[in-house]
Structure 1
Amino acid sequence: MAQTGLPASIDETAELLDRQNYVASRPLATVLFLALKMGRPLFLEGEAGVGKTEIAKVLAAALDRPLIRLQCYEGLDVSSALYEWNYAAQMIEIRLREAAGDTSRDAARSDIFSDRFLIRRPILQALEGELGRAPVLLIDELDRTDEAFEAFLLEVLSDNQVTIPEFGTVRAAEPPIVVITTNRTREIHDALKRRCLYHWVDYPQADQELEIVRRKAPRANADLAAELVAFVQRLRGLDLFKAPGVAETIDWANALTELNAVALDPAHVSDTLGVLLKYQDDIARMERGEGRQILNEVKRDLAGAA
């Protein structure tokens, strides 16, 4: 079933993202358009902090669809992702029936496994979405789960339905828009990837990242924005334990703005490294002199380009 309100072209998809202040590359706009057009899940892979999760949020806002987020973690099981029964309420119902003298087991079973005792988790919520306004289902950081959960998810994505033994089969009137993200801490099985359209979300180029900072940290001084983006771009070329993502760049711009900085200087860099870098070894490396060297190179290059 075709979904209404979706962009009709790649250009419309890019404009849709742009209106939500998401700076997207042409390949990303293309794969997103195709995922929407073909009704296929979108599988986004990339380093942490490059904007994968934000794509689902922006898409939901742009299409005026509910966003349902399943945050994955080690040990995630079906009851946490799909449904579970309200056992406490069921036990109270059983006790009340016994107190009232109702001994019909069949009637009791039919009642306690009814809709009012069913706790819907994210995947079931997404399958029961409103016709014509199917939600965006974000399955975030799938690589944190195990292969058993992948196998369950494969069945859901294939049929857009689930069977609850005591309740029956729940089939989506209109399939949800599914966005799956992974930070690639482990490989996801090919069987699941084959059912999705794939895109690697890379760190943005300098001009793209500068535009992101302008939109997400509009109070930042223009010279400061140019210098901090150039600084971050150089950091990503180093062998760090964890290179800063776009989220850290935005945070750094906002932090420096709060300190009334109009340009980068060694003191500002040293004092705010904890906003940009999240591992002590990386921070110590910058404080040993490498940070000052990078700052000098940034200042020199930008002065030469002016």
Structure 2
Amino acid sequence: MAENLKDEQKAKSIFGSVEAVQDAFARQNYIADRPLALTVMLAAQLNKPILLEGEAGVGKTDVAKVVARALNSELVRLQCYEGLDAQSTIYEWNYAKQILAIRMAEAGKQEGALEHTIFSEEFLLPRPLLRAIRHRGGGPATLLIDEVDRADEEFEAFLLEVLSDYQVTVPELGTFVATHPPFVVLTSNRTRELNDALKRRCLYLWIDYPPASKEREIVVRKVPGISDQLAQQICDLM
């Protein structure tokens, strides 16, 4: 219990203030303006997900990657797409291994307890949501739910429970509850309007294209040694 409490305090201490967030992001070569830093700080303090919307290429996905590096935690990525269903984001069974176990049991005439055996942890293949919730590392995992606007509205409804209680259910094994909730970042390119219920469960931030001054600073950071003149020309062109 004491170890879990210590793990939960990790994000709160690293992201304890707006300036601390900006410093942590700067060490990862990401320039965080005050609105983004404030959103990350509040997410860490309140254990709430972040929903980032904006045009493609403005750095939404990188926020989750930088958070994971700053917290030294595992980055678990769920890439959304049309037709994505809830179960495929939680778990699958290793069917090939199950069939092999059935064949071996039949050969050894041990069919009796087979049902309990093949639906056990040994045959479970965790998918992103279950991996993030069952994470047992030195602190919370960072869960990136990327381009959630590409998924169907039914999947959004399923996410409401996950983001409220940080738990998922595997019918054969029971309900798994996060010992320390993951740091969740959702991104959207706004190809469609998201459900209001999902937005209410998140801290929302719109990320716009950077102004020329910030664009230049990004170029200088990402391309060490670039001349000032070339960096300025690139930013003027963009």
Which 4+ stretches in 1 moved above 3 angstroms?
none
Amino acid aligned to 1:13:
V
1:212 to 181, 206, 218: 218
**1:20, distance to aligned residue in structure 2 (A):** 0.9
- CA offset digits 1:22-81 (Å, max 9, x no partner): 111111101110011100000000000000000110111111111111111112122321
- CA offset digits 1:121-162 (Å, max 9, x no partner): 111000011264111000000011001111111111111111
Query: Secondary structure of 1:3's match?
Result: helix
2:33 is the counterpart of 1:25 = yes
Counterpart Cα distance in 2 of 1:77 and 1:217: 40
- Tell me if the contact between 1:74 and 1:146 (Cα under 8 Å) persists in the aligned partners: yes
Q: What does residue 111 of structure 2 align with?
A: 103
- Tell me if the contact between 1:131 and 1:173 (Cα under 8 Å) persists in the aligned partners: no
Q: What does residue 180 of structure 1 align with?
A: 186
Query: Secondary structure of 2:55's match?
Result: coil
**1:185, distance to aligned residue in structure 2 (A):** 0.3
Query: Secondary structure of 1:22's match?
Result: coil
- With over 3 angstroms needed to count, the CA separation of the structure-2 counterparts of 1:84 and 1:8, relative to structure 1, is same
Counterpart Cα distance in 2 of 1:3 and 1:195: 21
Amino acid aligned to 1:226:
Q
1:45 to 36, 53, 64: 53
Counterpart Cα distance in 2 of 1:110 and 1:30: 49
- Tell me if the contact between 2:14 and 2:20 (Cα under 8 Å) persists in the aligned partners: no
Mapping for residues 85-124 of structure 1, pairs under 5 Å: 85-104=93-112, 107-124=113-130
Give identity over the alignment, percent: 54
- Tell me if the contact between 1:3 and 1:132 (Cα under 8 Å) persists in the aligned partners: no
Mapping for residues 87-166 of structure 1, pairs under 5 Å: 87-104=95-112, 107-130=113-136, 132-166=138-172
Mapping for residues 47-66 of structure 1, pairs under 5 Å: 47-66=55-74
Query: Secondary structure of 1:139's match?
Result: strand
Counterpart Cα distance in 2 of 1:89 and 1:65: 30
TM-score normalized with structure 2 length:
0.93
**1:3, distance to aligned residue in structure 2 (A):** 2.9
**1:221, distance to aligned residue in structure 2 (A):** 2.0
- Tell me if the contact between 1:81 and 1:123 (Cα under 8 Å) persists in the aligned partners: yes
Structure 2 gaps of 5+ residues are: none
Q: What does residue 289 of structure 1 align with?
A: none
Counterpart Cα distance in 2 of 1:68 and 1:49: 20
Counterpart Cα distance in 2 of 1:47 and 1:3: 33
Query: Secondary structure of 1:219's match?
Result: coil
Q: What does residue 195 of structure 1 align with?
A: 201
Counterpart Cα distance in 2 of 1:145 and 1:37: 29
- CA offset digits 1:177-225 (Å, max 9, x no partner): 0000000001110101100000001111111110000000123221011
Amino acid aligned to 2:237:
F
Query: Secondary structure of 2:14's match?
Result: coil
Amino acid aligned to 1:36:
A
2:79 is the counterpart of 1:71 = yes
Greater relative contact order, per chain length (Cα 8 Å cut-off, separation 6+):
2
Amino acid aligned to 1:124:
L
Counterpart Cα distance in 2 of 1:205 and 1:61: 26
Amino acid aligned to 2:49:
P
Rg larger in structure = 1
Considering only aligned residues, what root-mean-square deviation do their CA atoms show, in Å?
A: 1.2
1:6 to 8, 14, 17: 14
Counterpart Cα distance in 2 of 1:72 and 1:6: 29
Amino acid aligned to 1:161:
Q
